[in-house]
Amino acid sequence: MAGSKAPPTIQEVAELAGVSKSTISRYFSGFPVRNPEQIRAAVERLGYRPNSAARDLKNGRTRTVGVAVRDLADLYFARILRAIGLASSEVGFHLLVADTSLTSERLAYETLRQRADGLILCAPQLDDSELESLVDDLRPVVIVDRLAPGVRAPQVGVDFYAAMLGLIAHTMDLGHRRIAYFAGPPRSWGDRERRRAFETAKTFGAIPTILEAADSDQLDAAINTALSDGTTAILSFDDFIASSTISRLRKLDVSVPDEISVTGFDDVGYASLSNPEITTVRTPLGDLGERAWSELRALIEGAEATATSVLLPAEVVVRASVAAIAKA
Amino acid sequence: MAGSKAPPTIQEVAELAGVSKSTISRYFSGFPVRNPEQIRAAVERLGYRPNSAARDLKNGRTRTVGVAVRDLADLYFARILRAIGLASSEVGFHLLVADTSLTSERLAYETLRQRADGLILCAPQLDDSELESLVDDLRPVVIVDRLAPGVRAPQVGVDFYAAMLGLIAHTMDLGHRRIAYFAGPPRSWGDRERRRAFETAKTFGAIPTILEAADSDQLDAAINTALSDGTTAILSFDDFIASSTISRLRKLDVSVPDEISVTGFDDVGYASLSNPEITTVRTPLGDLGERAWSELRALIEGAEATATSVLLPAEVVVRASVAAIAKA
DNA sequence: CTGAAAGCGCTAACAC
DNA sequence: GTGTTAGCGCTTTCAG
């Protein structure tokens, strides 16, 4: 049996300080009171801490943001999350997080929403129509890393299309034409945007091949294909795939970038420490989070929800994993 | 002006369904009711969602864990966090997170505690005495990645001392004696534990040098020192330092592991993708999180708080960044 | 199985 | 400035 007593209430503090509950309440809300020192002492002595459930109930808000991510242990999301956390805590908000890798997205969102004033959904996987209907009763909500036409909520993403085009241009400048795209999560918005860039690139004379590389086996197969079909540059969905690719190529004694060029995407840490250092795109994860928060904040404060979409630019970071194509 | 109406209450659902509030409440608590279908319909129609502030207030608990970490965007913490999140959500708990990089730890803990049933503090930096006093009014609390003698709370950590000793033994087996420790955050428990291993290693004939390497300038200096004082193996505080070290050595045209060996610690991702692949220690981050949660859960359910400390084992992962010492 | 009623701890008029 | 009072939305006796 635990000897834990019930926590002190505002009433007990009031009695000890010889004033009424309201005075204590005011004291905590920063209003001037006659005898702050006395109150402070009573609070201290009792170890009183305001009960936030009661507060939230009375105030009708929780001052909490709910954020859903697919994988908390993915640096990509962790960085966005951190930015949201820092920005929102500046205005006294708390961060409630759900990792949707094991639960259904719907359920996770619903549960989060119950305890938060608003939601930020990171790269939701649901299809547009599901998302559209869900968003209606989740509101206020903002969507990150996914543009879903028809969804009446602010959507903030990164211009992957333009960034990938930049990467393609960079490789093409160096003489590459037969380029392979090592694709990421199929059907994800981020992947589709990158693919679009390859479509466009055909216009400029690129000869792209799309190869699935989201899991380990696919990656092996993709590498084999690339190695045998005359590919001279591999543009990967993200730094992780790029890193894995380079690592496997090394085992096959294929030198990067001398024999084949490889690029990453996102610049999430290992890209700059690799050997060779990976040419990639710097995805502005912090900005993404901050922007999402400011959109959500506006909504929470009563702004009308519209289908605003914001596309943040991302720049190419040239490092050492792409070289000029060897003369044929 | 926002057209947002107040969310429906249980009362409105009751009226629409033609029953009393209590019945709706029971319906949501899983008790059998006469007409579940009718209720479901009313709930659906109104888009009713139970107000968790009211619920928490009435029930006297929030079913929320508060977790404080120094840096949300550090894979090390992100992995622990994820494990806590997954484990706790299995029993219906929510995850409230605070990143303490910008706020004072004290404040962050206090705020978190206000909305959570218990706290998990990851690698708190406060000194033992501060922590000791804080823990008393934060209770229930569990501490992760830090053993603080005298603090009456479960403390779960990893046996860095033994693991580092294992790494030292491995390098010594390969003939190394002059080894340098590239230290991490000074005064942190994790760093102190690792240092202890070097003390012990002297007994076995190791000739260790401790070099600060927590920031970029220190790292450069440490590398210079190591290169000029006959060091043959660098054991780093973590994989990030190891990775950075290897990357800088490469620029200096010093080959790893041919000319100098390097080890990492934690195995948090880039270690296995590096070139060379980094010999390191696999820190059981997931277990750490799960264990912390199960300790906290017991406390929340009324267990007596004691100064239990759990030390999880971590194993050495031999890869390619350590080679036998070249014959002198 | 169901309804009526009494709060959970706090805030915000309102009257002093 | 301060006390009194009336709920916020829900759960849970208690009596049917």
**For A54-103, how does the pLDDT look when each residue is reduced to its tens digit (9 = 90+)?**
999 999 999 999 999 999 999 999 999 999 999 999 999 999 999 999 99
| Chosen from B80, B90, B94, B111 to mutate, greatest number of chain A CBs within 10 A | B94
Asked if A255 is an interface residue toward chain B (Cβ–Cβ < 8 A), one would say no
**Residue B277 region by backbone torsions, left for phi larger than 0, else alpha for psi between -120 and 50, else beta:** beta
**Both tokens of residue A27?**
């004291």
DSSP sequence for A139-156: -SEEEES---TT--S-EE
**Both tokens of residue A154?**
């602010």
Whether CB of B206 is under 7 Å from strand D: the answer is no
How many Cβ pairs within 8 Å bridge chains A and B? 156
pLDDT given for residue A76 in this prediction: 97
The residue whose two tokens read 């609390």 is B141
Contact call for B273 and A247, based on CB within 8 A: yes
Q: How confident is the model at residue A231 (pLDDT cuts 50, 70, 90)?
A: very high
Contact B300, B117 (CB under 8 A): yes
Distance B41 CA to C10 C1' (A): 33
Which residues 48-77 of chain A have a CB within 8 Å of chain B? Answer: 49-54, 56-57, 60, 62, 64, 71-75
Q: Protein contacts on strand C: list nucleotides below 7 Å from a Cβ.
A: 1-5, 7-13
| Residue among A62, A89, A243 minimizing CB distance to B273 | A243
| Amino acid identity at A157 | G
Q: Which of A142, A174, A146 is nearest to A160 (CA)?
A: A146
d(CA A257, CA A260): 5
**For A182-223, how does the pLDDT look when each residue is reduced to its tens digit (9 = 90+)?**
999 998 999 999 999 999 999 999 999 999 999 999 999 999
Contacts of A57 in chain B (CB under 8 A): 51, 53-54, 57
pLDDT given for residue A1 in this prediction: 42
Contact call for B62 and A53, based on CB within 8 A: yes
A58 Cβ partners below 8 Å, 6+ apart?
A: none
Whether CB of A34 is under 7 Å from strand D: the answer is yes
d(CA B249, CA B71): 28
d(CA B88, CA B152): 23
**Strands B118-122 and B64-69: what pairing?**
parallel
Of chain A, the percentage scoring pLDDT greater than 90 comes to 92
Rounded to an integer, the average pLDDT of A116-123 is 98
Contact A81, A71 (CB under 8 A): no
pLDDT given for residue B75 in this prediction: 96
Whether CB of A61 is under 7 Å from strand C: the answer is no
| Chosen from A270, A272, A287 to mutate, greatest number of chain B CBs within 10 A | A270
Q: How confident is the model at residue A5 (pLDDT cuts 50, 70, 90)?
A: confident
Which residues 138-197 of chain B have a CB within 8 Å of chain A? Answer: none
B207: β partners: B178
The residue whose two tokens read 């009324």 is B302
Q: How far is B84 from chain A (nearest CA, A)?
A: 10
B window 52-71: Cβ near strand C (< 7 A): 54, 57-58, 60
Taking CA–CA distances from B116, the nearest residue in chain A reads A52
**A182 sits in which H/E element:** strand A178-183
The residue whose two tokens read 């890193």 is A243
Q: Which nucleotide is nearest to A26 (CA to C1')?
A: C11
Asked if A5 is an interface residue toward chain B (Cβ–Cβ < 8 A), one would say no
pLDDT given for residue A327 in this prediction: 57
d(CA A121, CA A73): 16
**Both tokens of residue B178?**
């002059």
**A296 sits in which H/E element:** helix A285-300
d(CA B209, CA B201): 11
Nearest protein residue to C9's C1' (by CA)? A54
Is B39 exposed, middle or buried (CB count within 10 Å of its CB: 0-12, 13-18, 19+)?
buried
Q: Which nucleotide is nearest to B58 (CA to C1')?
A: C8
DSSP sequence for A251-275: HTT--TTTT-EEE-SB--SGGGTSS
**For A151-184, how does the pLDDT look when each residue is reduced to its tens digit (9 = 90+)?**
999 999 999 999 999 999 999 999 999 999 999 9
- Report helix, strand or coil for B262: strand
Distance A49 CA to C16 C1' (A): 30
pLDDT given for residue A293 in this prediction: 98
Counted residue by residue, chain B has a size of 328
Query: CA B144, B145, B147, B153: dihedral to nearest 10 degrees?
Result: 0
Q: Give CA separation, A315 vs A233, A279, A283, B258, in Å.
A: 19, 11, 7, 37
Taking CA–CA distances from A96, the nearest residue in chain B reads B96
d(CA B323, CA B316): 15
First to last CA, chain B: 80
Global pTM reads 0.96
pLDDT given for residue B2 in this prediction: 47
Contact call for B85 and A64, based on CB within 8 A: no
Counted residue by residue, chain A has a size of 328
B183: β partners: B212
A116 Cβ partners below 8 Å, 6+ apart?
A: A62, A64, A65, A66, A96
pLDDT given for residue A304 in this prediction: 86
DSSP-derived secondary structure letter, B271: G
Of chain A, the percentage scoring pLDDT greater than 70 comes to 98
Whether CB of B327 is under 7 Å from strand C: the answer is no
Cα of A280 vs its chain's centroid, Å: 18
Nearest protein residue to D8's C1' (by CA)? A58
Asked if B320 is an interface residue toward chain A (Cβ–Cβ < 8 A), one would say no
What are chain B's domains?
Answer: 1-47 (no CATH), 64-158+285-312 (3.40.50.2300), 160-283 (3.40.50.2300)
Asked if B86 is an interface residue toward chain A (Cβ–Cβ < 8 A), one would say yes
Asked if A269 is an interface residue toward chain B (Cβ–Cβ < 8 A), one would say yes
- DSSP H helical segments within A116-176, as ranges? 128-138, 160-173
Taking CA–CA distances from A304, the nearest residue in chain B reads B2
d(CA B9, CA B50): 7
**Both tokens of residue B300?**
């929340």
Q: Which of A83, A8, A9 is nearest to A283 (CA)?
A: A83
Contact call for B73 and A62, based on CB within 8 A: no
Contact call for A89 and B102, based on CB within 8 A: yes
Q: Protein contacts on strand D: list nucleotides below 7 Å from a Cβ.
A: 1-5, 7-13
B281 Cβ partners below 8 Å, 6+ apart?
A: B163, B164, B166, B167, B264, B265, B266, B267, B314, B315, B316, B317
Contacts of B254 in chain A (CB under 8 A): none
Q: Which of B99, B66, B98 is nearest to B300 (CA)?
A: B66
Contact call for A52 and B114, based on CB within 8 A: yes
Contact call for A64 and B115, based on CB within 8 A: yes
Nearest protein residue to C8's C1' (by CA)? B58
A68: β partners: A98, A121
Whether CB of B36 is under 7 Å from strand C: the answer is no
Helix axes A105-115, A128-138, angle to 10 degrees: 20
Contact call for A85 and B97, based on CB within 8 A: yes
**Both tokens of residue A288?**
């993404």
Contacts of A78 in chain B (CB under 8 A): 72-75, 78
Whether CB of B19 is under 7 Å from strand C: the answer is yes
Asked if B2 is an interface residue toward chain A (Cβ–Cβ < 8 A), one would say yes
- From the first residue on, what is the mean pLDDT of each consecutive set of 10 residues in chain B (328 residues)? 75 96 96 94 96 97 97 97 98 97 95 97 93 92 95 96 98 98 95 98 97 97 97 98 97 96 94 95 98 97 90 98 83
